[in-house]
Amino acid sequence: MSKQSGGAIRIAVAAISAVRRARLESIIRSHLEFQLTASFGVVASLLSFAGGAELDLIVIDSDSIRDLLLEPTSDAPIVEERRPGDSAERE
């Protein structure tokens, strides 16, 4: 991962739920090595932003992943975290 923004890892967040989005933002802000670059309530807005942004990581709440287009938006990795009890396939 590149760290061109003064050593911080640049992160953008997307979550439909304002509560989950605020929690993700809080986790990111609590670490000095992370920089919250942007936060969105709609994945499509994140994808539009990510195309022109220099991001190291994109975090998308799993309940918001349905909105994700299956096209790469940048060189930033996309990781989905599964919680115990999540089904392997979504309806």
> Can you point out the beta strands (E) in 15-80?
34-40, 57-60
pLDDT tens sequence across 36-49: 999 998 877 887 88
**50 CB burial (10 A radius; 0-12, 13-18, 19+):** buried
Look at 83 and 2; give whichever has higher pLDDT: 83
Do 56 and 8 meet the contact criterion of CB atoms below 8 Å apart? no
Do 53 and 74 meet the contact criterion of CB atoms below 8 Å apart? yes
Q: Provide the pLDDT confidence category of residue 51 given band limits of 50, 70 and 90.
A: confident
Look at 85 and 69; give whichever has higher pLDDT: 85
Domain extents for the chain?
9-67
The whole model's pTM is what?
0.64
